[in-house]
Structure 1
């Protein structure tokens, strides 16, 4: 069986990447393209060598399409995915699932009611350094987690390489935190458990319509705290992890520096570099294709997608409610 996939929009910066990944997979192929901007979609379809379908309902009614890859504006996700599920099409989506918890519930209901295979793109959960951090937590090497700090940032705004539509607050639902900060959100949830509350501080350096510099602090039911830092105005590029617990810690100051561990449960004291990291797991889109074709397990399903929306919803509500205290100077 070859999974026949329709690409839904070239709006997202990862649209080409997903399209190529599908076409390069022996079990799948791109067979059609739809786009909310017909001119953009038609041009893309010509590049790929597949038909462009301007009517979304007609695309979903086609017996030649088994599945859809959603890379549309975020504010369109709910309607696109509910309709796709109702048409019995399997769904792969770029993060985030939706910008509100209510819409997330509606997507879940449609997917479950129609028994379609679903996957959201959480690519950093596939990386060896993050897999090791999770392994260290689950094996007890760090004891009880007390702090997780994640920083993922780039210079997309300060060096002006992000597309202009990434600054549309309606289409995107937010800025740096909604986009790049999603990685830190789903990683923190994966590592530290069930969240309790979120406090956010967002700022704007380049004077766009959305935040380009952001931090969200998450308190978990266990008492652990996560600091999720993200930015479109950082010196390129920042990617770091610090995880502390009552009996040890894991850190990666950058991928080049590698992963280090210190723990009461190893003989060597102080930080030591970990040479033998877990193998990278299959990418989200590889997992999705295999899940559709063979029924294999997918690590990033509906539950994980909703958990990300829950955190993001809280992060933006915190910022909008200005639930912080201004500094009073002497």
Structure 2
């Protein structure tokens, strides 16, 4: 049995991860810590486990094998590095950190201490993504020219009961989040598009603040991939009824995914649009992959490359928006290298 500590209920998915942990026969929630004491006590009571106010007591407890981190994003690096130093396996909400350099430090600490680190990128396990990858790898679209991915909701649209919308107020705290719609909800289109597009050459970004928050609530990126393809990524907190969309365009075909509706047209298939009769089996969710990597040494399908690539796009996008220009990813890599030399 893997004894787990829950570290913070700050993120909206914290309850989901607690449910997944309770449903996994290899995991047992033993304790809750939260930077917000009142919230932590309430959550611990709901889960019928103790609350511990002292983080280091949790991390130095020899009975605790692993942690699930749902703290504010700006606390990720400090807390995850401490967990790794105390040889606790780590499951965490995306994004891992604000910069690629910080991600490298975290992975270095995990490797040094021989702990398993998993970042939750769940859409890489979905059957529609696996089908898209299968279609692309099978050459049905020819040479990939464009990937467009959109995921948006109305979480910041005011309602009668809540002038900020249904998202928690702290999701608009720039210091804690490091951004708004792009760094949170936009993570999913980013890591999906990265997987399909490959290594990134450059990013151009627009991060809008239509609702008056300190962070972006509507965002669009153009990503240039090294293979010549373009990625178009759209996200936001101000879209009522917006479907999830993933579109792949190539020299010999097109794949359109809108929520559960999937259509493909290809020169290598019969004329017209086709709906696939079957889809690939969904992969285990990130938490299950994490557990399997701990107990069975199974290599997860969600990789450090996926996690680093997500932060790379966010870091380049912010730089692009602030400076009003196209940013090549080599600029970010050069910053890391200069710091390594300087350090």
Q: Please tell me the TM-score bracket, short chain as reference.
A: over 0.9
2:293 matched residue in structure 1: 291
- Give the alignment partner of residue 199 of structure 1, picking from 194, 197, 204: 204
1:144 matched residue in structure 2: 143
1:182 Cα deviation from its structure 2 partner: 0.4
1:157 Cα deviation from its structure 2 partner: 0.2
TM-score, scaled to structure 2:
0.91
1:238 Cα deviation from its structure 2 partner: 2.2
2:44 matched residue in structure 1: 45
1:275 Cα deviation from its structure 2 partner: 2.1
8 Å Cα contact 2:207/2:220 also seen in 1: yes
- Give the alignment partner of residue 238 of structure 1, picking from 236, 243, 249: 243
Written as runs of structure 1 = structure 2, the 5 A alignment for 1:58-207 is 58-159=57-158, 160-207=165-212
Spell out, residue by residue over 1:262-286, the C-alpha distance to the aligned partner (whole angstroms, 9 max, x if none).
11222x1222111211121111111
Instruction: For 1:302 and 1:125, locate their aligned partners in 2 and report how far apart those are by CA, in whole Å.
Output: 13
8 Å Cα contact 1:118/1:301 also seen in 2: no
TM-score, scaled to structure 1:
0.95
Instruction: For 2:151 and 2:10, locate their aligned partners in 1 and report how far apart those are by CA, in whole Å.
Output: 22
1:282 matched residue in structure 2: 284
- Give the alignment partner of residue 302 of structure 2, picking from 281, 300, 321: 300
8 Å Cα contact 2:223/2:232 also seen in 1: yes
Instruction: For 1:34 and 1:281, locate their aligned partners in 2 and report how far apart those are by CA, in whole Å.
Output: 30
2:9 matched residue in structure 1: 10
Tell me, yes or no, if structure 1 residue 260 matches structure 2 residue 263.
Answer: yes
Cα RMSD after superposing both structures: 1.1
1:253 Cα deviation from its structure 2 partner: 2.6
Written as runs of structure 1 = structure 2, the 5 A alignment for 1:194-233 is 194-233=199-238
Spell out, residue by residue over 1:142-181, the C-alpha distance to the aligned partner (whole angstroms, 9 max, x if none).
1221100000010000140000000000100000000000
Secondary structure at the residue paired with 1:5? strand
1:313 matched residue in structure 2: 315
1:52 Cα deviation from its structure 2 partner: 1.1
1:205 Cα deviation from its structure 2 partner: 2.1
1:301 Cα deviation from its structure 2 partner: 3.1
Question: How many residues are matched?
Answer: 320
1:236 Cα deviation from its structure 2 partner: 2.6
Spell out, residue by residue over 1:90-136, the C-alpha distance to the aligned partner (whole angstroms, 9 max, x if none).
01111101011221111011011111111111111111111100111
Instruction: For 1:31 and 1:60, locate their aligned partners in 2 and report how far apart those are by CA, in whole Å.
Output: 12
Secondary structure at the residue paired with 2:154? coil
Question: Which 4+ residue blocks in structure 1 deviate beyond 4 angstroms?
Answer: none
8 Å Cα contact 2:124/2:302 also seen in 1: no
Spell out, residue by residue over 1:36-79, the C-alpha distance to the aligned partner (whole angstroms, 9 max, x if none).
11111111111101111111111111011100111110011111
2:336 matched residue in structure 1: none
8 Å Cα contact 2:84/2:115 also seen in 1: yes
Gaps of 5+ in 2: 159-164, 327-343
Secondary structure at the residue paired with 1:272? coil
Gaps of 5+ in 1: 325-330
Spell out, residue by residue over 1:201-259, the C-alpha distance to the aligned partner (whole angstroms, 9 max, x if none).
1112211111100001100001100000001000134201110111212111332xx11
Instruction: For 2:35 and 2:243, locate their aligned partners in 1 and report how far apart those are by CA, in whole Å.
Output: 33
8 Å Cα contact 1:169/1:209 also seen in 2: yes
